[in-house]
């Protein structure tokens, strides 16, 4: 038990450790070797990060809008697809599942070049709409597979009873199906939001530098040596994740897969 | 009779265009087929150039190294974490929160943290200096921008071990706990239980999740971009360099490199599916 | 409870999605036809530009430059002309050139996504050769009168004639830096530097080409290997290159084991070098924009004891420009931006050490007397060597073909492990 306690502590510290200097940098004005703590404290980094001239507020807005749009499209397409895959049996179902799994596992670098070429011809690159579609590639399969798992454990008898009592398909969906799978769908939606929120290469390739999201802003500031502003962006990037954890705190389903 | 496939079709169509269509276009471009149908015959030249380029092999080797080491370490660590959390109820809510927090942290944020922490003039080095363990930045081990990509591996292990651990925890249920209890009451030691009961039950899930992690770390771009050495660069970074080369002749090569990554990920998918099948058999 | 809250949250945010989905495409091509703008009265061009937008692509690696462009220039544009300036940061100017090139290949001649590029050297030559840049309009800009086109270092961009295809913005000259508290007497010439590196292993490095500043450092060594710059000026000469290059690679390979990390890796960018310098991992640094060291001291990045210096055998000096791509749909607004960038007030503000500290691209003597006095009265940051003093030992830049060959040669002969 003592070894287990120690291991738990080590694990906890290890999980938090990289975030410590990030948080310190957000309030630092100059933090050079060999100082353990910044020579000067200042709220300037966060202030600069939040001012429009840094491009960060725009990036936060764009990232949020993109993630919301992508999640909504993924839900609209993915819930019916997930339901069909979860409940129905048909020939070639396995093949369909694999076809949907592939975009989830294949890394973005494999398809964004071709996607950029395709979107250039369609006039979708560089554009935010194009970036939203690019984000669909990892997000849509994720929603489909999660909803398929949820529906696989779903009892359709309630719906059948409602139908037999005269309810229309729409009524059945809203009054019976949605309350049953809605919470899991919401959790899936929140995690899907995070997948889009953290995307880097698709946004860079399809956005052509015109579409700025927090990961792109973060990289720009780290690679130009402004660790304090980069840290401020990093902390701001963590907020949606914290919100998701809080919103799902009581309902983290056991069988719900999570993005890598 | 409406086909049960009907509701799946819109999603499939979108993926067919955006993913498979993009891959097909990459394949075409890598064979020298230009966008506007012209009189150019398909050419294997880009593939020949790519496969005979020592820089490509060095980059591929580096990426393979990164993904193999990251996956192996993450899997081992995840197994340990899963065992720990299941057996040590104290502190579980805090650990659970920290694990889920880790999941929501974008990879670049983790990379930034590792940079600030492990650079030769980073926080860990400063602590070492204060403790008298080193006398200057050069004495601190080179973990960032180093030829063994240690910093990159650190970031991936930090992010993917919790990912795999949470999958393992989600998949193990009361049946497994019961089996472990039975083994204990039959006189098995803790270590024997872990080796003969826990490990076999978690192995399929471990393999399935590891395949995903392997594919992901092989093809990831932003962490090697930030923390990698200047030569060789990871394969996705090399592909991007060729893609944005002002010399447009390099572009088909970039497409070929992208397909190389896709092919390796396909292999990882097959491993994953095989492991999932074994998991379902359990 | 919480999952239902999550569901409600997601559903309630759906109305936000529709406007987000309808994000506007590129603005209408109002002034894509440049030919009819050339020679028009300026008031008409200003009127056409009013209310438009300009996508200005420029290297985004310096916060001070970003702030100057977004806040100062962007602010004036918005106030005076109602023009929205979109600053698009680049890690490498070649990325913007690549965009225009791809658009031209795709047949896009009037809906380009790039309206203005901060550019010079190799990238300008690429655009010129590819017919990617709009030319012939520069005399239409009123502030073009402030430019001394008779100065060869302005009329020629890295040896390539400008020919009315771009407009100067700033001067730049490479300077080195050391922390006087850590290193009292730095080496002050390339030969002295080479000796110093061998005597002080692990205390120096330079960014790998094709980083702009790293490539410039390699060219300093190249000039030294050639025994001077005279034989290298002019069009690319393969024979001359083959005679000098091996000596340069020998020098650079010779110091490689004595570099930071033993030369196992080079910093990927000038910013990475600056971070190493700031943290004392290396003792020397350099920059085309020495005023950046002053900016860095003020924002706490560097210690106040940092001092910049030139080399006795000279450092590279050049002019950087702004250019309008051939397919920009907002040429009138881009012209207004260029005119503003050229103005005495904007150049003065840019020269202030607490803003950017960049030497002006215009001829100060052609500005109004009040501005001339203000230029003369500009404060000098203690860490930054005055531009006039540095200019005494200015070296000309090589033509782009030389630079491309040197960069490629470095990557193959020195950078490859």
Structure tokens at C191: 């030969």
B19 part of contact set with chain A, CB < 8 Å: yes
Residue A86: pLDDT above 80?
yes
B244: nearest CB among C98, C281, C416: C98
Structure tokens at C235: 């069009």
- Interchain pair B231, C279: CB under 8 A: no
| CATH number, domain with residue C158 | 3.40.190.10
pTM: 0.86
The torsion angles phi and psi of C285, rounded to 5 degrees, stand at: -145, 180
In a shared domain, residues C359 and C225 = no
pLDDT digits (tens, 9 = 90+) for C26-70: 444 467 888 888 989 999 999 999 999 999 999 887 778 988 999
SS3 (DSSP) at C266: coil
Bin A193: left if φ > 0, else alpha if -120 < ψ < 50, else beta.
alpha
Examine residue C3 and state whether it is found in any structural domain, yes or no.
no
Position A121 scores a pLDDT of 83
- pLDDT range class, residue C21, cuts 50, 70, 90: very low
Q: Could you tell me how far CA B43 lies from the centroid of its own chain?
A: 33
A17 vs B105: CA distance, rounded Å: 13
Question: Mean pLDDT: which of A249-258, B37-46, C397-406 is highest?
Answer: C397-406
Structure tokens at C328: 């920009």
Instruction: Report chain A's C-alpha Rg in angstroms.
Output: 22
Position A257 scores a pLDDT of 52
Smallest Cα–Cα separation from B62: which of B208, B227, B207? B227
B242 contacts B250 by C-beta, under 8 angstroms: yes
Give the pLDDT mean for C316-325: 95
B23 part of contact set with chain A, CB < 8 Å: yes
Q: Residue A224's domain spans which residues?
A: 18-247
Minimal C-alpha gap between C60 and chain A (Å): 8
For chain C, what is the domain count?
2
Residue C379: pLDDT above 90?
no
Structure tokens at B268: 């990882």
B-chain CB neighbours of A89 within 8 Å are: 4
C291 vs C386: CA distance, rounded Å: 9
C88: nearest CB among A28, A72, A209: A209
pLDDT digits (tens, 9 = 90+) for B133-164: 999 899 999 999 999 999 999 999 999 999 99
pLDDT digits (tens, 9 = 90+) for C71-106: 999 999 999 999 999 999 887 888 899 889 888 888
Position A259 scores a pLDDT of 64
Residue A130: pLDDT above 80?
yes
Residue labelled with tokens 């997930």: A82
Minimal C-alpha gap between C226 and chain B (Å): 27
C-chain CB neighbours of B244 within 8 Å are: 92, 94-95, 98
In a shared domain, residues C204 and C72 = no
pLDDT digits (tens, 9 = 90+) for C222-263: 999 999 888 898 899 999 999 999 999 999 999 999 999 999
Residue C15: pLDDT above 80?
no
Q: Please report which helix (H) or strand (E) contains residue C89, including its range.
A: strand C84-90
Inter-chain contacts counted by CB atoms under 8 A, chains A and B: 288
User: Which domains are delineated in chain B?
Assistant: 1-43 (no CATH), 46-281 (1.10.3720.10)
pLDDT digits (tens, 9 = 90+) for C253-276: 999 999 999 999 999 889 899 999
Give the pLDDT mean for C136-156: 92
**Angstrom distances, CA of residue C228 to CA of C6, C160, C224, C235, C247:** 70, 21, 6, 16, 13
A82 vs A65: CA distance, rounded Å: 24
Examine residue A5 and state whether it is found in any structural domain, yes or no.
no
Q: Residue C245's domain spans which residues?
A: 173-317+393-415
Residues of chain B where predicted confidence (pLDDT) is lower than 70: 1-2, 34-41, 88-91, 246, 280-282
Position C20 scores a pLDDT of 40
A 217-256 → B contacts, CB under 8 A = 218-219, 222-223, 227, 230-231, 234, 237-238, 240-242, 244-245, 252-256
Position C30 scores a pLDDT of 61
Examine residue A256 and state whether it is found in any structural domain, yes or no.
no
Give the pLDDT mean for A2-30: 90
- B280 Cβ neighbours under 8 A, 6+ residues apart: none
Optimal mutation site among A131, A133, A134, A209, interface C, most CBs of chain C within 10 A: A209
pLDDT digits (tens, 9 = 90+) for C331-364: 999 999 999 999 999 999 999 988 888 899 999 8
Q: Between A56-87 and A178-197, two packed helices, what is the crossing angle to 10 degrees?
A: 140
B231: nearest CB among C101, C267, C417: C417
B142 part of contact set with chain C, CB < 8 Å: yes
B138: nearest CB among C202, C265, C267: C202
Helices (H), chain A: 2-16, 19-26, 44-50, 56-87, 93-105, 108-122, 128-152, 157-164, 169-172, 178-197, 201-207, 214-223, 227-247
A157 part of contact set with chain B, CB < 8 Å: no
A248 vs C134: CA distance, rounded Å: 55
Rounded to two decimals, the ipTM of the complex is: 0.88
| CATH number, domain with residue A57 | 1.10.3720.10
B232 part of contact set with chain C, CB < 8 Å: yes
Position C10 scores a pLDDT of 55
Minimal C-alpha gap between A165 and chain B (Å): 22
Examine residue C19 and state whether it is found in any structural domain, yes or no.
no
C206 contacts C273 by C-beta, under 8 angstroms: yes
Examine residue A103 and state whether it is found in any structural domain, yes or no.
yes
Optimal mutation site among C2, C26, C276, C329, interface A, most CBs of chain A within 10 A: C2
Check residues A40 and C7 and name the one with the higher pLDDT: A40
Position C102 scores a pLDDT of 83
In a shared domain, residues C261 and C406 = yes
Examine residue A133 and state whether it is found in any structural domain, yes or no.
yes
B81 vs B172: CA distance, rounded Å: 13
Residue C25: pLDDT above 50?
no
Position A108 scores a pLDDT of 94
For chain A, what is the domain count?
1
Position A251 scores a pLDDT of 59
Smallest Cα–Cα separation from A187: which of B269, C5, C171? C5
Give the pLDDT mean for A6-33: 92
C4 contacts A183 by C-beta, under 8 angstroms: yes
Smallest Cα–Cα separation from A236: which of A4, A36, A11, A50? A50
C151 vs C365: CA distance, rounded Å: 13
Optimal mutation site among A16, A88, A98, A113, interface B, most CBs of chain B within 10 A: A113
C 65-94 → A contacts, CB under 8 A = 66-67, 70-71, 74, 86-91
C402 vs C249: CA distance, rounded Å: 15
User: Which DSSP string corresponds to B173-205?
Assistant: -HHHHHHHHHHHHTT--HHHHIIIIIHHHHHHH
Position C16 scores a pLDDT of 46
Helices (H), A106-127: 108-122
- Interchain pair B126, A33: CB under 8 A: yes
The verdict on whether omega for the bond into residue C210 sits within 30 degrees of 0, i.e. cis, is yes
Position A77 scores a pLDDT of 93
Q: Could you tell me how far CA A77 lies from the centroid of its own chain?
A: 17
In a shared domain, residues C118 and C212 = no
């Amino acid at each position: 038990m003592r070894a287990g306690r120690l291991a738990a502590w080590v694990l906890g510290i290890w999980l938090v450790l990289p975030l410590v200097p990030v948080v310190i940098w957000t309030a630092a004005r100059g933090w050079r070797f060999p100082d353990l703590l910044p020579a000067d404290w200042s709220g300037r980094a966060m202030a600069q990060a939040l001012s429009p001239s840094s491009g960060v507020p725009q990036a936060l807005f764009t990232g949020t809008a993109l993630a919301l749009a992508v999640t909504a499209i993924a839900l609209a397409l993915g819930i019916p697809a997930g339901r069909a895959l979860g409940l129905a049996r048909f020939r070639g179902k396995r093949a369909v599942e694999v076809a949907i799994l592939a975009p989830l596992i294949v890394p973005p670098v494999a398809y964004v070049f071709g996607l950029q070429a395709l979107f250039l011809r369609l006039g979708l690159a560089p554009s935010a709409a194009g970036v939203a579609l690019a984000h669909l590639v990892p997000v849509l399969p994720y929603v489909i597979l999660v909803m398929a798992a949820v529906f696989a454990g779903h009892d359709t008898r309630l719906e059948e009873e409602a139908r037999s009592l005269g309810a229309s398909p729409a009524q059945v969906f809203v009054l019976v199906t949605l309350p049953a799978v809605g919470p899991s769908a919401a959790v899936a939606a929140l995690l899907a939001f995070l997948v889009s929120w953290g995307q880097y290469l698709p946004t860079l390739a399809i956005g052509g530098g015109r579409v700025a999201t927090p990961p792109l802003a973060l990289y720009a500031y780290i690679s130009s040596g402004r660790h304090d502003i980069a840290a401020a962006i990093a902390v701001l990037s963590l907020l949606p994740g914290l919100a998701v954890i809080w919103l799902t705190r009581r309902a983290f389903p056991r069988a719900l897969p999570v993005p890598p | 009779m409406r086909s049960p496939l009907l509701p799946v079709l819109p999603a499939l169509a979108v993926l067919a265009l955006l993913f498979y269509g993009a891959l097909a276009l990459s394949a075409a471009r890598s064979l020298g087929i230009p966008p506007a149908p012209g009189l150019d015959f398909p050419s294997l030249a880009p593939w020949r150039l790519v496969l005979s380029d020592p820089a490509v092999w060095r980059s591929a080797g580096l990426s393979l190294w990164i993904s193999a080491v990251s996956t192996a370490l993450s899997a081992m660590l995840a197994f340990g974490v899963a065992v720990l959390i299941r057996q040590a109820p104290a502190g579980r809510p805090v650990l659970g929160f920290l694990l889920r927090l880790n999941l929501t942290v974008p990879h670049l944020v983790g990379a930034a943290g590792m940079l600030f922490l492990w650079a030769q003039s980073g926080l860990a080095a400063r602590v070492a200096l204060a403790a008298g363990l080193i006398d200057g930045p050069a004495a601190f081990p080179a973990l960032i921008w180093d030829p063994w990509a240690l910093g990159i591996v650190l970031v991936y292990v930090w992010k993917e071990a919790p990912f795999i651990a949470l999958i393992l925890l989600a998949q193990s249920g009361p049946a497994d706990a019961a089996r472990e209890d039975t083994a204990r009451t039959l006189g098995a030691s803790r270590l024997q239980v872990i080796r003969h009961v826990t490990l076999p039950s978690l192995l399929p899930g471990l393999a399935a999740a590891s395949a995903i992690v392997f594919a992901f770390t092989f093809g990831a771009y932003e962490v090697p971009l930030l923390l990698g050495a200047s030569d060789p660069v990871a394969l996705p970074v090399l592909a991007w360099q060729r893609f944005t080369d002002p010399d447009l002749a390099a572009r088909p090569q970039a497409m070929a490199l992208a397909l190389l990554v896709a092919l390796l990920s396909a292999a990882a998918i097959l491993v994953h599916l095989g492991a999932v099948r074994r998991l379902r058999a359990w | 409870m919480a999952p239902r809250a999550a569901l409600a949250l997601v559903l309630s945010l759906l109305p936000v999605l529709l406007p987000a989905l309808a994000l506007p495409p590129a603005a209408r091509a109002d002034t894509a036809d440049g030919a009819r703008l050339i020679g028009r009265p300026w008031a008409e061009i200003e009127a056409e530009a009013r209310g438009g937008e300009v996508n200005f692509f420029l290297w985004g690696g310096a916060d001070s430059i970003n702030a100057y462009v977004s806040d100062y220039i962007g602010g004036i544009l918005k106030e005076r002309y109602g023009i929205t300036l979109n600053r698009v940061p680049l890690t490498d100017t070649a990325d913007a050139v690549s965009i225009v090139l791809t658009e031209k290949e795709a047949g896009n001649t009037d809906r380009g996504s790039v309206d203005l590029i901060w550019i010079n050297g190799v990238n300008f030559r690429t655009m010129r050769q590819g017919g990617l840049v709009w030319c012939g309009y520069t005399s239409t800009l009123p502030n073009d009168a402030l430019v001394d086109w008779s100065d060869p270092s302005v009329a020629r961009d890295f040896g390539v004639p400008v020919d009315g295809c771009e407009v100067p913005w700033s001067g730049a000259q490479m300077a080195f830096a050391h922390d006087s508290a850590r290193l009292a007497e730095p080496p002050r010439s390339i030969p002295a530097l080479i000796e110093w590196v061998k005597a002080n292993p692990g205390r120096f490095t330079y960014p790998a080409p094709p980083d702009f500043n790293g490539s410039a450092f390699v060219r300093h060594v190249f000039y030294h290997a050639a025994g001077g710059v005279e034989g290298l000026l002019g069009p690319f000469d393969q024979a001359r290159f083959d005679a000098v290059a091996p000596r340069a690679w020998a020098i650079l390979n010779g110091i490689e084991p004595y570099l930071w990390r033993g030369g196992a890796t080079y910093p990927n960018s000038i910013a990475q070098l600056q971070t190493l310098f700031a943290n004392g991992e290396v003792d020397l640094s350099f920059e085309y924009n020495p005023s950046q060291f002053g900016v860095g001291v003020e924002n706490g990045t560097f210690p106040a004891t940092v001092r910049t210096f030139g080399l006795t055998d000279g450092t590279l000096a050049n002019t950087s420009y702004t250019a309008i791509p051939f397919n920009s749909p907002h040429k009138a607004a881009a012209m207004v931006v260029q005119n503003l960038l050229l103005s005495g007030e904007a150049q003065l503000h840019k020269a202030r050490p607490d803003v950017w500290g960049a030497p002006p691209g215009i001829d100060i003597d052609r500005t109004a007397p009040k501005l001339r006095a203000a230029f003369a009265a500009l404060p000098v940051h203690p860490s930054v060597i005055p531009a006039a003093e540095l200019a005494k030992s200015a070296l000309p830049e090589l033509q782009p073909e030389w630079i491309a060959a040197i960069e490629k040669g470095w990557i193959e002969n020195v950078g490859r492990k």
